[in-house]
């Protein structure tokens, strides 16, 4: 009997050892320690033993049961740990894998250009002003020395809303508005970026809606040389130190004298190439000395005050700076175009 119990223990421990899964282990437990198992059987048959044998066998049977139970428990723990480790391993996250790219938006090229222009002029003491896009005939034309039926109105084909209201054709009305606000007794030094509208047929260089940045400086003793100095500073900071500027006579009813400003071509440095149409120069803005009548209409005494004004088109400037060949790219918002110009 004792030998049988010993053999049972050895056999059971071997089976425990061989169990590969928790289910195997459970089978081993049931077959050795279950109600119909051999140990239970031994314990059940104790009655048939002699009184001397009974305690000896009883003790041994209990020991065998304890040994098997302990082995089962230890093995169970080992298997559970192994299963957990396996699970952890299969579910580990590789933190070194690159993440999925997230599409990040950015500011529009035009916004960036306008901001850059603003920063440069703020650096020269200009403040930023705004005006309405739906403008009165008075501010858009009359206050700028363009009375009704003035032929120069033809230079800017307009979208009229009523007889007296239109979509502004330029940002120059903000000159008259700002001077009006300053009541004729304070210097004005402002730039005004904004959208403007003209009845043009859209093509590579024309758009019925585009952007302008207006500039106005009115004070005692403002001269043409101030205009030239400010614009020269702007051109060099914006386009590069090596760029030259040149002023050519032009005509605007609200400035006298009027000029157009060219910058030297960055491709050929003035030699003449296809970008500058063989002239060596590229036109970038219009400006001039504020016409005395315009000062007077806005409440500034032209005997005391003088000023300069200019207007530029950020689209054109962006096209020159980045070699964009079609103005419509700014408005069709193809992200492949837009993405090239911001560092996301
Ligand atoms: N408003 C003019 C235009 O749109 C530009 C300009 C502004 C000219 C200020 C002179 C002074 O063409």
pLDDT for residue 328 is more than 60: yes
- pLDDT tens, residue by residue, 250-306: 999 999 999 999 999 888 888 888 878 889 998 999 999 999 999 999 999 999 999
- pLDDT tens, residue by residue, 34-88: 888 888 887 788 888 888 888 888 888 888 888 888 988 888 898 889 889 988 9
The pLDDT score that the predictor gives to residue 157 is 87
The pLDDT score that the predictor gives to residue 32 is 85
Q: Ligand 1 in contact with 311 (CB < 6 A)?
A: yes
Q: Give per-residue burial for 282-316: e unless 16+ CB within 10 Å, then b.
A: bbbbbbbbbbbebbebbebeeeebbbbbbbbbbbb
List, in order, residues 6 or more apart from 319 with CB less than 8 Å away: 325, 327
**Token match 């289910």: residue?**
23
The residues spanned by each domain of the chain are: 2-84, 109-339
The pLDDT score that the predictor gives to residue 343 is 57
Q: Ligand 1 in contact with 286 (CB < 6 A)?
A: yes
Which of 22-26, 38-42, 106-110, 288-292 shows the lowest mean pLDDT across its residues?
38-42
Q: Which CATH number fits domain 109-339: 3.30.930.10, 3.30.450.20, 3.90.950.10, 3.40.47.10?
A: 3.30.930.10
pLDDT for residue 207 is more than 60: yes
218 or 15: which leads in pLDDT? 218
Q: Ligand 1 in contact with 314 (CB < 6 A)?
A: no
How many angstroms separate the alpha carbon of residue 252 from the centre of ligand 1?
Answer: 7
Q: Ligand 1 in contact with 288 (CB < 6 A)?
A: yes
Q: Give which of 219, 212, 203 is closest to 140, Cα–Cα.
A: 212
pTM of the prediction?
0.72
Q: Give which of 297, 145, 141, 291 is closest to 216, Cα–Cα.
A: 291
Q: Rounded mean pLDDT of 170-183?
A: 97
**Token match 């501010």: residue?**
139
Residues constituting the chain: 344
pLDDT for residue 344 is more than 60: no
The pLDDT score that the predictor gives to residue 330 is 95
Residue 16, judged by CB atoms within 10 A of its CB (0-12, 13-18, 19+), counts as buried
């Amino acid at each position: 009997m004792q030998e049988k119990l010993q053999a049972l223990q050895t056999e059971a421990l071997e089976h425990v050892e061989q169990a590969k899964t928790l289910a195997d282990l459970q089978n081993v437990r049931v077959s050795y320690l279950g109600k119909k198992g051999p140990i239970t059987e031994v314990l059940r048959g104790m009655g048939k033993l002699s009184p001397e044998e009974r305690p000896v066998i009883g003790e041994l049977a209990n020991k065998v049961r304890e040994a098997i139970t302990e082995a089962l428990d230890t093995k169970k723990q080992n298997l559970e740990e192994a299963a957990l480790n396996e699970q952890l391993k299969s579910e580990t996250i590789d933190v070194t894998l690159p993440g999925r790219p997230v599409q990040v938006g950015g500011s529009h090229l035009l916004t960036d250009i306008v901001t850059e222009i603003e920063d440069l002029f703020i650096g020269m003491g200009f403040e930023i002003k705004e005006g309405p896009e739906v403008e009165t005939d008075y501010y858009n034309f009359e206050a700028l020395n363009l009375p009704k039926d003035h032929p120069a109105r033809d230079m800017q084909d307009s979208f009229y809303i009523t007889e007296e209201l239109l979509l502004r054709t330029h940002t120059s009305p903000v000159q008259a508005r700002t001077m009006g606000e300053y009541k004729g007794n304070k210097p004005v030094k402002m730039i005004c970026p904004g959208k403007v509208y003209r009845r043009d047929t859209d093509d590579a260089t024309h758009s019925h809606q585009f952007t302008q940045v207006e500039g106005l400086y009115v004070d005692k003793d403002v001269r043409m040389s101030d205009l030239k100095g400010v614009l020269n500073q702007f051109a060099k900071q914006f386009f590069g130190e090596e760029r030259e500027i040149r002023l050519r006579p032009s005509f605007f009813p609200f400035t006298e004298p009027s000029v157009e400003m060219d910058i030297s071509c960055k491709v050929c440095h003035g030699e003449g190439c296809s970008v500058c149409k063989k002239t060596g120069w590229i036109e970038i803005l219009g400006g001039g000395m504020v016409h005395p009548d315009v000062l007077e209409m806005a409440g500034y005494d032209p005997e005391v005050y003088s000023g300069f004004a200019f207007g530029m088109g950020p689209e054109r400037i962006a096209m020159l700076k980045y070699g964009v060949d079609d103005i419509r790219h700014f408005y069709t918002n193809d992200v492949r175009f837009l993405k090239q110009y911001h560092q996301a």
